[in-house]
Amino acid sequence: MKLKVRLTHLDAGGKLLVIMNAEDAEELGVRSLSRVMLRKNGLEAIAIVNTTTRMFHRGSVGVCLEVQQRLQLCEGEMIDVELSNPPNSLNHIKKRLKGRKLTHAEIKEIIRDVVNGLLSDVELTSFVTSIQHFALDMDEATSLSIAMVESGKTLQLDKKIIVDKHSIGGVPGDKTTLLVVPIVASCGLTIPKCSSRAITSAAGTADRAEVYMPVNLSLEEMRRVLEKADGCIVWGGALHLAPADDIFVNIEFPLSIDPLLLPSIMSKKKAVGSKFVVIDIPTGAEVKVKTMVEAQLLAQDFIEIGRRLEMNVQCAITYGGQPVGHAIGPALEAREALENLTNMRLHRDLVDKATDIAGMLLEMAGIQDGEAKAMYALKSGRAERKMREIIAEQGGNPDINPEDIPVGQYTLDIEAEHHGILLWIDMPRLVEIARLAGSPKDKGAGVLLHKKLGEKVSKGDKLFTVYSEKAGKLESVYSSLKDSPIMLVGHSMEMTLSCVKDYKPQPDRFMLDR
Protein backbone atom coordinates (compact mmCIF):
# COMPACT_ATOMS: atom_id res chain seq x y z
CA MET A 1 0.00 0.00 0.00
CA LYS A 2 1.41 3.40 -0.98
CA LEU A 3 0.69 6.13 1.55
CA LYS A 4 1.48 9.82 1.72
CA VAL A 5 3.74 10.81 4.59
CA ARG A 6 2.44 13.28 7.17
CA LEU A 7 5.04 14.44 9.68
CA THR A 8 3.59 14.60 13.21
CA HIS A 9 6.78 15.79 15.02
CA LEU A 10 5.64 13.53 17.85
CA ASP A 11 8.48 11.97 19.84
CA ALA A 12 7.40 8.44 20.61
CA GLY A 13 9.97 7.87 23.35
CA GLY A 14 12.38 6.07 21.03
CA LYS A 15 9.71 3.85 19.50
CA LEU A 16 9.02 3.64 15.77
CA LEU A 17 5.34 4.57 15.55
CA VAL A 18 3.05 5.32 12.63
CA ILE A 19 -0.55 6.50 12.76
CA MET A 20 -2.76 5.03 10.04
CA ASN A 21 -6.31 5.74 9.08
CA ALA A 22 -8.43 2.91 10.53
CA GLU A 23 -9.83 1.94 7.12
CA ASP A 24 -6.39 1.75 5.52
CA ALA A 25 -5.31 -0.39 8.47
CA GLU A 26 -8.26 -2.74 8.01
CA GLU A 27 -7.58 -2.98 4.29
CA LEU A 28 -3.98 -3.92 5.06
CA GLY A 29 -5.13 -6.34 7.78
CA VAL A 30 -3.44 -4.65 10.75
CA ARG A 31 -4.89 -3.75 14.14
CA SER A 32 -3.56 -1.16 16.55
CA LEU A 33 -0.14 -2.28 17.84
CA SER A 34 0.41 -4.60 14.86
CA ARG A 35 3.52 -4.06 12.74
CA VAL A 36 4.06 -2.64 9.28
CA MET A 37 7.18 -2.60 7.15
CA LEU A 38 7.94 0.85 5.77
CA ARG A 39 10.10 1.16 2.66
CA LYS A 40 11.54 4.17 0.84
CA ASN A 41 14.44 4.14 -1.62
CA GLY A 42 16.14 1.10 -0.15
CA LEU A 43 15.68 2.24 3.46
CA GLU A 44 13.30 0.20 5.56
CA ALA A 45 11.96 0.07 9.09
CA ILE A 46 9.41 -1.97 11.00
CA ALA A 47 6.97 0.32 12.81
CA ILE A 48 4.19 -0.13 15.34
CA VAL A 49 0.74 0.93 14.12
CA ASN A 50 -1.69 3.19 15.93
CA THR A 51 -4.96 3.82 14.17
CA THR A 52 -7.03 6.98 13.87
CA THR A 53 -10.44 7.75 12.46
CA ARG A 54 -9.98 11.50 12.19
CA MET A 55 -6.37 12.59 12.46
CA PHE A 56 -5.54 11.39 8.94
CA HIS A 57 -7.72 10.59 5.95
CA ARG A 58 -7.32 7.42 3.95
CA GLY A 59 -4.16 7.43 1.88
CA SER A 60 -2.09 9.29 4.47
CA VAL A 61 0.11 7.95 7.23
CA GLY A 62 1.37 9.97 10.19
CA VAL A 63 4.94 9.25 11.23
CA CYS A 64 6.61 10.06 14.54
CA LEU A 65 9.96 11.84 14.72
CA GLU A 66 11.85 8.57 15.14
CA VAL A 67 10.43 7.13 11.89
CA GLN A 68 10.94 10.45 10.11
CA GLN A 69 14.61 10.43 11.03
CA ARG A 70 15.20 6.72 10.40
CA LEU A 71 13.79 6.90 6.86
CA GLN A 72 14.70 10.53 6.15
CA LEU A 73 11.10 11.39 5.31
CA CYS A 74 9.65 14.66 4.04
CA GLU A 75 6.07 15.90 4.32
CA GLY A 76 3.92 14.63 1.47
CA GLU A 77 6.23 12.04 -0.04
CA MET A 78 4.95 8.53 -0.76
CA ILE A 79 6.15 5.47 1.10
CA ASP A 80 5.40 1.80 0.78
CA VAL A 81 3.58 0.31 3.79
CA GLU A 82 3.14 -3.46 4.04
CA LEU A 83 2.04 -5.90 6.71
CA SER A 84 4.98 -7.16 8.73
CA ASN A 85 5.49 -9.85 11.29
CA PRO A 86 6.28 -8.68 14.80
CA PRO A 87 9.94 -8.91 15.76
CA ASN A 88 11.18 -12.28 16.97
CA SER A 89 11.84 -10.78 20.40
CA LEU A 90 8.07 -10.59 20.93
CA ASN A 91 7.98 -14.40 20.78
CA HIS A 92 10.56 -14.48 23.56
CA ILE A 93 8.50 -12.09 25.67
CA LYS A 94 5.43 -14.27 25.10
CA LYS A 95 7.47 -17.29 26.10
CA ARG A 96 8.34 -15.65 29.40
CA LEU A 97 4.67 -14.74 29.89
CA LYS A 98 4.08 -18.49 29.79
CA GLY A 99 6.48 -18.91 32.71
CA ARG A 100 9.54 -20.09 30.78
CA LYS A 101 12.95 -18.65 31.57
CA LEU A 102 14.82 -16.95 28.75
CA THR A 103 18.13 -17.95 27.19
CA HIS A 104 21.05 -15.62 26.70
CA ALA A 105 20.36 -15.31 22.95
CA GLU A 106 16.70 -14.49 23.57
CA ILE A 107 17.49 -11.79 26.11
CA LYS A 108 20.05 -10.30 23.76
CA GLU A 109 17.44 -10.10 21.02
CA ILE A 110 14.90 -8.47 23.35
CA ILE A 111 17.33 -5.81 24.53
CA ARG A 112 18.46 -5.07 20.98
CA ASP A 113 14.84 -4.54 19.89
CA VAL A 114 14.03 -2.46 22.99
CA VAL A 115 16.88 -0.12 22.14
CA ASN A 116 15.87 0.01 18.48
CA GLY A 117 12.32 1.05 19.40
CA LEU A 118 10.68 -2.07 17.95
CA LEU A 119 8.56 -2.96 21.00
CA SER A 120 5.37 -1.20 22.03
CA ASP A 121 4.52 -0.07 25.55
CA VAL A 122 2.13 -3.01 25.89
CA GLU A 123 4.89 -5.47 25.01
CA LEU A 124 7.51 -3.74 27.17
CA THR A 125 5.12 -3.61 30.11
CA SER A 126 4.23 -7.28 29.88
CA PHE A 127 7.95 -8.09 29.96
CA VAL A 128 8.65 -5.89 32.98
CA THR A 129 5.53 -7.12 34.82
CA SER A 130 6.49 -10.70 34.08
CA ILE A 131 9.87 -10.09 35.71
CA GLN A 132 8.14 -8.46 38.65
CA HIS A 133 6.03 -11.60 39.12
CA PHE A 134 8.67 -14.25 38.34
CA ALA A 135 11.93 -12.68 39.38
CA LEU A 136 14.98 -12.92 37.17
CA ASP A 137 17.11 -15.90 38.01
CA MET A 138 20.87 -15.43 38.14
CA ASP A 139 21.35 -16.55 34.53
CA GLU A 140 18.72 -14.15 33.26
CA ALA A 141 20.01 -11.27 35.37
CA THR A 142 23.52 -11.88 34.10
CA SER A 143 22.37 -12.12 30.48
CA LEU A 144 20.34 -8.94 30.86
CA SER A 145 23.35 -7.12 32.33
CA ILE A 146 25.59 -8.28 29.49
CA ALA A 147 22.99 -7.47 26.83
CA MET A 148 22.50 -4.00 28.31
CA VAL A 149 26.25 -3.38 28.22
CA GLU A 150 26.51 -4.62 24.64
CA SER A 151 23.60 -2.47 23.49
CA GLY A 152 25.27 0.72 24.74
CA LYS A 153 28.56 2.54 24.78
CA THR A 154 31.46 1.50 27.01
CA LEU A 155 34.30 3.43 28.61
CA GLN A 156 37.83 2.33 27.71
CA LEU A 157 40.34 3.60 30.24
CA ASP A 158 44.07 3.03 30.33
CA LYS A 159 44.16 2.81 34.12
CA LYS A 160 45.47 0.10 36.44
CA ILE A 161 42.82 -0.17 39.13
CA ILE A 162 39.28 0.92 38.35
CA VAL A 163 36.89 0.90 41.30
CA ASP A 164 33.30 2.03 41.78
CA LYS A 165 30.60 2.36 44.41
CA HIS A 166 26.84 2.42 44.16
CA SER A 167 23.98 2.84 46.59
CA ILE A 168 20.71 1.13 45.80
CA GLY A 169 19.19 4.30 47.21
CA GLY A 170 16.34 5.21 49.45
CA VAL A 171 17.93 7.25 52.23
CA PRO A 172 17.25 10.98 51.96
CA GLY A 173 20.31 13.20 52.13
CA ASP A 174 22.76 10.45 51.18
CA LYS A 175 25.64 12.50 49.82
CA THR A 176 28.24 9.80 50.60
CA THR A 177 29.45 9.59 46.99
CA LEU A 178 30.56 13.24 47.06
CA LEU A 179 33.11 12.20 49.71
CA VAL A 180 33.98 8.68 48.55
CA VAL A 181 35.00 9.70 45.02
CA PRO A 182 37.66 12.26 46.02
CA ILE A 183 38.92 10.12 48.92
CA VAL A 184 39.42 7.07 46.73
CA ALA A 185 40.85 9.01 43.79
CA SER A 186 43.26 10.83 46.11
CA CYS A 187 44.57 7.42 47.18
CA GLY A 188 45.59 6.54 43.63
CA LEU A 189 42.61 4.50 42.45
CA THR A 190 40.46 5.43 39.47
CA ILE A 191 36.74 5.84 40.11
CA PRO A 192 34.58 6.61 37.03
CA LYS A 193 31.41 7.50 38.93
CA CYS A 194 28.23 7.77 36.90
CA SER A 195 25.23 8.91 38.88
CA SER A 196 21.57 9.41 38.26
CA ARG A 197 19.26 12.34 38.75
CA ALA A 198 16.33 12.14 41.13
CA ILE A 199 13.28 10.25 39.84
CA THR A 200 11.23 9.87 43.02
CA SER A 201 13.75 11.26 45.54
CA ALA A 202 14.64 14.82 46.52
CA ALA A 203 18.09 14.71 44.92
CA GLY A 204 20.24 12.27 42.99
CA THR A 205 24.01 12.36 43.18
CA ALA A 206 24.09 13.95 39.72
CA ASP A 207 21.79 16.74 40.99
CA ARG A 208 24.06 17.29 44.00
CA ALA A 209 27.30 17.30 42.01
CA GLU A 210 25.81 19.70 39.47
CA VAL A 211 25.85 22.37 42.17
CA TYR A 212 29.68 22.31 41.91
CA MET A 213 30.18 21.67 38.23
CA PRO A 214 28.69 20.54 34.92
CA VAL A 215 27.74 16.85 35.03
CA ASN A 216 26.24 16.40 31.52
CA LEU A 217 29.52 15.19 30.12
CA SER A 218 29.98 13.08 27.02
CA LEU A 219 31.79 9.78 27.35
CA GLU A 220 34.87 11.34 25.74
CA GLU A 221 34.81 14.29 28.16
CA MET A 222 34.41 11.87 31.06
CA ARG A 223 37.41 9.89 29.84
CA ARG A 224 39.50 13.06 29.63
CA VAL A 225 38.57 14.07 33.21
CA LEU A 226 39.48 10.61 34.47
CA GLU A 227 42.82 10.55 32.67
CA LYS A 228 43.78 13.69 34.57
CA ALA A 229 42.02 13.47 37.92
CA ASP A 230 41.36 9.70 38.38
CA GLY A 231 37.85 10.53 39.53
CA CYS A 232 34.69 12.15 38.23
CA ILE A 233 31.01 12.49 39.13
CA VAL A 234 28.93 12.70 35.98
CA TRP A 235 25.32 12.15 35.01
CA GLY A 236 24.91 8.67 33.51
CA GLY A 237 21.86 9.56 31.43
CA ALA A 238 23.74 11.28 28.62
CA LEU A 239 26.38 8.56 28.26
CA HIS A 240 24.19 5.85 26.66
CA LEU A 241 25.91 3.22 28.77
CA ALA A 242 22.80 1.02 29.04
CA PRO A 243 20.12 2.71 26.94
CA ALA A 244 17.63 -0.13 27.46
CA ASP A 245 17.51 0.72 31.14
CA ASP A 246 16.23 4.24 30.46
CA ILE A 247 13.36 2.72 28.48
CA PHE A 248 12.50 0.24 31.23
CA VAL A 249 12.48 3.04 33.82
CA ASN A 250 9.61 4.66 31.93
CA ILE A 251 7.58 1.50 32.47
CA GLU A 252 8.67 0.88 36.06
CA PHE A 253 8.00 4.40 37.28
CA PRO A 254 4.21 4.56 36.73
CA LEU A 255 3.81 1.07 38.21
CA SER A 256 6.06 1.68 41.22
CA ILE A 257 7.97 -1.53 40.62
CA ASP A 258 11.70 -2.13 40.36
CA PRO A 259 12.30 -5.68 39.11
CA LEU A 260 15.40 -4.78 37.10
CA LEU A 261 17.43 -3.41 40.01
CA LEU A 262 20.35 -5.86 39.63
CA PRO A 263 21.00 -5.64 35.87
CA SER A 264 20.29 -1.92 35.84
CA ILE A 265 23.05 -1.21 38.36
CA MET A 266 25.52 -3.90 37.37
CA SER A 267 25.40 -3.21 33.64
CA LYS A 268 26.51 0.36 34.22
CA LYS A 269 29.35 -0.68 36.51
CA LYS A 270 30.51 -3.14 33.86
CA ALA A 271 30.17 -0.58 31.05
CA VAL A 272 32.68 1.78 32.68
CA GLY A 273 35.17 -1.05 33.23
CA SER A 274 35.02 -1.26 37.04
CA LYS A 275 36.97 -4.16 38.58
CA PHE A 276 36.25 -3.58 42.30
CA VAL A 277 32.79 -2.45 43.30
CA VAL A 278 31.14 -1.73 46.65
CA ILE A 279 27.33 -1.79 46.67
CA ASP A 280 25.75 0.15 49.52
CA ILE A 281 22.51 -1.45 50.74
CA PRO A 282 20.79 0.92 53.19
CA THR A 283 18.52 -1.12 55.43
CA GLY A 284 15.63 0.02 57.58
CA ALA A 285 11.88 0.08 57.92
CA GLU A 286 11.37 3.11 55.69
CA VAL A 287 13.81 2.39 52.87
CA LYS A 288 13.80 -0.20 50.10
CA VAL A 289 15.36 -3.06 52.02
CA LYS A 290 13.58 -3.49 55.35
CA THR A 291 15.47 -6.26 57.13
CA MET A 292 18.98 -7.64 57.51
CA VAL A 293 17.82 -10.96 56.04
CA GLU A 294 16.65 -9.27 52.85
CA ALA A 295 19.82 -7.23 52.75
CA GLN A 296 22.01 -10.32 53.04
CA LEU A 297 20.15 -12.08 50.24
CA LEU A 298 20.41 -9.07 47.97
CA ALA A 299 24.11 -8.72 48.79
CA GLN A 300 24.61 -12.34 47.80
CA ASP A 301 22.95 -11.69 44.44
CA PHE A 302 25.13 -8.65 43.78
CA ILE A 303 28.29 -10.59 44.62
CA GLU A 304 27.28 -13.55 42.42
CA ILE A 305 26.35 -11.37 39.45
CA GLY A 306 29.61 -9.51 39.92
CA ARG A 307 31.51 -12.79 39.76
CA ARG A 308 29.76 -13.73 36.52
CA LEU A 309 30.52 -10.32 35.02
CA GLU A 310 34.16 -10.58 36.18
CA MET A 311 33.88 -7.85 38.78
CA ASN A 312 34.91 -8.22 42.39
CA VAL A 313 31.87 -7.02 44.37
CA GLN A 314 31.45 -6.43 48.10
CA CYS A 315 28.39 -5.00 49.78
CA ALA A 316 28.03 -2.55 52.66
CA ILE A 317 24.77 -3.03 54.53
CA THR A 318 24.26 0.38 56.10
CA TYR A 319 21.90 1.94 58.63
CA GLY A 320 18.92 3.39 56.76
CA GLY A 321 16.85 4.57 59.74
CA GLN A 322 17.30 8.30 59.22
CA PRO A 323 18.79 10.73 56.69
CA VAL A 324 22.57 10.82 56.26
CA GLY A 325 23.88 14.12 57.61
CA HIS A 326 21.42 16.97 58.09
CA ALA A 327 20.76 18.34 54.61
CA ILE A 328 18.23 17.17 51.98
CA GLY A 329 18.02 18.81 48.54
CA PRO A 330 20.73 19.41 45.90
CA ALA A 331 22.31 22.68 47.08
CA LEU A 332 21.92 22.03 50.80
CA GLU A 333 23.55 18.62 50.38
CA ALA A 334 26.34 19.91 48.15
CA ARG A 335 27.06 22.57 50.77
CA GLU A 336 27.11 20.00 53.56
CA ALA A 337 29.42 17.67 51.65
CA LEU A 338 31.82 20.51 50.98
CA GLU A 339 31.79 21.48 54.68
CA ASN A 340 32.97 17.95 55.44
CA LEU A 341 35.55 17.82 52.64
CA THR A 342 37.03 21.13 53.82
CA ASN A 343 36.93 19.92 57.46
CA MET A 344 34.92 23.05 58.26
CA ARG A 345 32.40 20.82 59.97
CA LEU A 346 32.26 17.02 60.22
CA HIS A 347 28.99 15.09 60.27
CA ARG A 348 29.79 11.94 62.15
CA ASP A 349 27.43 9.61 60.29
CA LEU A 350 28.35 10.93 56.85
CA VAL A 351 32.07 10.70 57.52
CA ASP A 352 31.68 7.26 59.05
CA LYS A 353 29.78 5.93 56.05
CA ALA A 354 32.08 7.54 53.48
CA THR A 355 35.30 6.34 55.07
CA ASP A 356 33.90 2.84 55.61
CA ILE A 357 32.96 2.48 51.95
CA ALA A 358 36.12 4.14 50.70
CA GLY A 359 38.07 1.89 53.04
CA MET A 360 36.44 -1.23 51.61
CA LEU A 361 37.40 -0.12 48.09
CA LEU A 362 40.99 0.59 49.12
CA GLU A 363 41.34 -2.83 50.74
CA MET A 364 39.74 -4.61 47.76
CA ALA A 365 42.41 -2.92 45.65
CA GLY A 366 45.13 -4.24 47.94
CA ILE A 367 45.71 -1.23 50.17
CA GLN A 368 45.86 -2.20 53.85
CA ASP A 369 44.14 -0.29 56.67
CA GLY A 370 41.67 1.10 54.17
CA GLU A 371 39.42 2.93 56.56
CA ALA A 372 42.27 4.66 58.37
CA LYS A 373 43.80 5.69 55.07
CA ALA A 374 40.45 6.99 53.87
CA MET A 375 40.06 9.00 57.08
CA TYR A 376 43.54 10.40 56.68
CA ALA A 377 42.80 11.44 53.08
CA LEU A 378 39.76 13.32 54.34
CA LYS A 379 41.29 14.91 57.44
CA SER A 380 44.55 15.88 55.73
CA GLY A 381 42.77 17.89 53.05
CA ARG A 382 43.98 15.58 50.29
CA ALA A 383 40.40 14.58 49.43
CA GLU A 384 39.42 18.27 49.28
CA ARG A 385 42.27 19.05 46.88
CA LYS A 386 41.25 16.06 44.72
CA MET A 387 37.65 17.27 44.68
CA ARG A 388 38.75 20.74 43.57
CA GLU A 389 40.81 19.10 40.82
CA ILE A 390 37.78 17.12 39.65
CA ILE A 391 35.59 20.23 39.79
CA ALA A 392 38.14 22.10 37.66
CA GLU A 393 38.39 19.28 35.12
CA GLN A 394 34.61 19.03 34.80
CA GLY A 395 34.39 22.77 34.19
CA GLY A 396 33.29 24.10 37.59
CA ASN A 397 34.84 26.71 39.86
CA PRO A 398 37.59 24.90 41.83
CA ASP A 399 37.68 27.65 44.46
CA ILE A 400 34.06 27.17 45.51
CA ASN A 401 33.41 27.37 49.25
CA PRO A 402 30.37 26.12 51.19
CA GLU A 403 29.13 29.64 51.85
CA ASP A 404 29.18 30.42 48.10
CA ILE A 405 26.45 27.89 47.43
CA PRO A 406 23.07 29.62 47.15
CA VAL A 407 20.10 28.01 48.87
CA GLY A 408 16.40 28.90 48.73
CA GLN A 409 15.68 32.40 50.05
CA TYR A 410 12.23 31.45 51.40
CA THR A 411 12.40 29.43 54.58
CA LEU A 412 10.01 27.88 57.04
CA ASP A 413 11.12 26.77 60.50
CA ILE A 414 9.33 23.95 62.25
CA GLU A 415 9.65 24.02 66.02
CA ALA A 416 9.12 21.37 68.67
CA GLU A 417 5.82 21.65 70.50
CA HIS A 418 7.14 19.99 73.66
CA HIS A 419 10.28 18.68 75.37
CA GLY A 420 11.60 15.20 74.82
CA ILE A 421 13.79 13.04 72.64
CA LEU A 422 13.53 12.92 68.83
CA LEU A 423 12.18 9.39 68.44
CA TRP A 424 11.07 9.07 64.84
CA ILE A 425 11.42 10.77 61.44
CA ASP A 426 9.01 10.02 58.61
CA MET A 427 11.53 9.81 55.78
CA PRO A 428 9.15 9.36 52.85
CA ARG A 429 7.27 12.47 53.97
CA LEU A 430 10.52 14.34 54.37
CA VAL A 431 11.20 13.61 50.69
CA GLU A 432 7.66 14.68 49.84
CA ILE A 433 8.18 18.00 51.61
CA ALA A 434 11.50 18.61 49.87
CA ARG A 435 9.88 17.90 46.51
CA LEU A 436 6.91 20.14 47.33
CA ALA A 437 9.43 22.88 48.11
CA GLY A 438 10.88 22.44 44.60
CA SER A 439 13.55 19.73 44.80
CA PRO A 440 15.21 18.49 42.69
CA LYS A 441 14.47 20.97 39.88
CA ASP A 442 14.98 24.03 42.09
CA LYS A 443 18.47 23.27 43.34
CA GLY A 444 18.14 25.57 46.36
CA ALA A 445 15.02 23.85 47.67
CA GLY A 446 15.12 21.24 50.42
CA VAL A 447 15.08 20.52 54.11
CA LEU A 448 17.76 21.09 56.76
CA LEU A 449 17.41 18.99 59.90
CA HIS A 450 18.44 20.55 63.20
CA LYS A 451 17.88 17.41 65.25
CA LYS A 452 18.54 13.77 64.59
CA LEU A 453 17.24 10.57 66.20
CA GLY A 454 17.95 10.31 69.92
CA GLU A 455 18.80 13.97 70.42
CA LYS A 456 17.26 15.98 73.26
CA VAL A 457 14.68 18.54 72.20
CA SER A 458 13.31 21.46 74.20
CA LYS A 459 9.96 23.04 73.50
CA GLY A 460 10.44 25.72 70.83
CA ASP A 461 13.67 24.23 69.46
CA LYS A 462 13.88 24.28 65.70
CA LEU A 463 13.38 20.72 64.43
CA PHE A 464 13.98 21.46 60.76
CA THR A 465 13.92 24.27 58.21
CA VAL A 466 12.37 24.02 54.77
CA TYR A 467 14.06 26.03 52.00
CA SER A 468 12.39 27.09 48.78
CA GLU A 469 13.17 29.36 45.85
CA LYS A 470 9.50 30.26 45.42
CA ALA A 471 7.12 31.63 48.04
CA GLY A 472 4.17 29.75 46.50
CA LYS A 473 5.83 26.40 46.92
CA LEU A 474 6.51 27.10 50.57
CA GLU A 475 2.78 27.64 51.03
CA SER A 476 2.09 24.12 49.71
CA VAL A 477 4.69 22.85 52.17
CA TYR A 478 3.01 24.72 54.99
CA SER A 479 -0.43 23.22 54.33
CA SER A 480 1.03 19.74 53.94
CA LEU A 481 2.88 20.02 57.27
CA LYS A 482 -0.21 21.27 59.05
CA ASP A 483 -2.02 18.02 58.20
CA SER A 484 0.35 15.63 59.94
CA PRO A 485 3.72 15.92 61.62
CA ILE A 486 6.94 14.47 60.23
CA MET A 487 8.85 14.00 63.46
CA LEU A 488 7.87 12.50 66.77
CA VAL A 489 9.27 14.04 69.94
CA GLY A 490 8.55 12.34 73.27
CA HIS A 491 9.91 10.24 76.05
CA SER A 492 8.86 6.85 74.73
CA MET A 493 7.35 5.59 71.51
CA GLU A 494 3.59 5.69 71.31
CA MET A 495 2.61 2.08 70.84
CA THR A 496 -0.41 2.42 68.57
CA LEU A 497 0.78 3.54 65.16
CA SER A 498 -2.60 3.60 63.47
CA CYS A 499 -6.19 2.57 64.21
CA VAL A 500 -7.66 0.83 61.17
CA LYS A 501 -11.41 1.28 61.20
CA ASP A 502 -11.98 0.95 57.51
CA TYR A 503 -9.60 0.48 54.63
CA LYS A 504 -7.98 3.65 53.33
CA PRO A 505 -5.15 3.15 50.88
CA GLN A 506 -1.89 4.75 52.00
CA PRO A 507 -0.28 7.29 49.71
CA ASP A 508 2.26 5.79 47.38
CA ARG A 509 5.80 6.20 48.69
CA PHE A 510 7.79 4.23 46.23
CA MET A 511 11.49 4.85 45.63
CA LEU A 512 12.66 3.93 42.14
CA ASP A 513 15.97 5.77 42.41
CA ARG A 514 18.82 3.27 42.58
Q: How many helices (H) and strands (E) does the chain have?
A: 18, 18
**Residue 33 contacts its own copies per CB under 8 A:** yes
Q: Which of 3, 5, 8, 145 binds its own copies (CB under 8 A)?
A: 8
Shortest CB 91 distance to its own copies, Å: 5
Q: How far apart are CA 184 and CA 276, in angstroms?
A: 12
Nearest to 463 by CA among 421, 492, 510, 428: 421
**Residue 53 contacts its own copies per CB under 8 A:** yes
Shortest CB 187 distance to its own copies, Å: 38
Cis upstream peptide for 323 (omega within 30°)? no
Question: DSSP label at 418?
Answer: S
Q: Which of 43, 74, 78, 122 binds its own copies (CB under 8 A)?
A: 122
**Residue 51 contacts its own copies per CB under 8 A:** yes
Q: Which of 1, 153, 159, 253 binds its own copies (CB under 8 A)?
A: 253
**Residue 37 contacts its own copies per CB under 8 A:** no
**Residue 254 contacts its own copies per CB under 8 A:** yes
Shortest CB 259 distance to its own copies, Å: 10
Q: Which CB sits closer to its own copies, 94 or 382?
A: 94
Shortest CB 267 distance to its own copies, Å: 22
**Residue 86 contacts its own copies per CB under 8 A:** yes
Q: Which of 52, 154, 465, 480 binds its own copies (CB under 8 A)?
A: 52
Q: Which of 16, 19, 47, 295 binds its own copies (CB under 8 A)?
A: 19
Stretch 378-437 residues interacting with its own copies (CB under 8 A): 435
Kindly indicate which of the ranges 94-102, 264-272, 275-283, 424-432 contains the residues binding its own copies, using the contact rule CB under 8 A: 94-102
Q: Which CB sits closer to its own copies, 9 or 482?
A: 9
Decide if 438 contacts 470 (C-beta within 8 A).
Answer: yes
Kindly indicate which of the ranges 114-122, 280-288, 454-462, 486-494 contains the residues binding its own copies, using the contact rule CB under 8 A: 114-122
Which residues form the catalytic set?
A: 258
Q: Which CB sits closer to its own copies, 156 or 506?
A: 506
Nearest to 23 by CA among 43, 48, 1: 1
Decide if 151 contacts 112 (C-beta within 8 A).
Answer: yes
Q: How far apart are CA 375 and CA 179, in angstroms?
A: 11
Q: Which CB sits closer to its own copies, 35 or 326?
A: 35
Neighbours of 99 (CB within 10 A): 9
Q: Which CB sits closer to its own copies, 91 or 411?
A: 91
Q: How far apart are CA 156 and CA 164, in angstroms?
A: 15
In one-letter notation, the amino acid at residue 362 is L
Phi, psi for 458 (deg, rounded to 5): -105, 150
Q: Which CB sits closer to its own copies, 221 or 258?
A: 258
Strands 487-490 and 420-425 come out as antiparallel
Neighbours of 114 (CB within 10 A): 25
Question: Which H or E run contains 111?
Answer: helix 104-115
Decide if 3 contacts 60 (C-beta within 8 A).
Answer: yes
Q: Which of 60, 84, 132, 465 binds its own copies (CB under 8 A)?
A: 132
Kindly indicate which of the ranges 119-127, 178-186, 231-239, 382-390 contains the residues binding its own copies, using the contact rule CB under 8 A: 119-127
What is the dihedral angle through the alpha carbons of 92, 93, 94, 97, rounded to the nearest 10 degrees? Answer: 120
**Residue 123 contacts its own copies per CB under 8 A:** yes
Q: Which of 250, 314, 343, 480 binds its own copies (CB under 8 A)?
A: 250
**Residue 55 contacts its own copies per CB under 8 A:** yes
Residues 6+ apart with CB under 8 A from 381: 342, 343
Distances from the Cα of 323 to the Cα of 144, 171, 319, angstroms = 32, 6, 10
CA 255 to chain centroid: 16
Enumerate the H helices of 187-229 as residue ranges: 205-209, 219-229
**Residue 42 contacts its own copies per CB under 8 A:** no
**Interaction site with its own copies (CB under 8 A):** 8-11, 13, 19, 26-27, 29, 31-34, 50-55, 65, 86, 88, 90-95, 97, 99, 120-126, 128-130, 132-134, 199, 250-251, 253-257, 435, 441, 505, 508
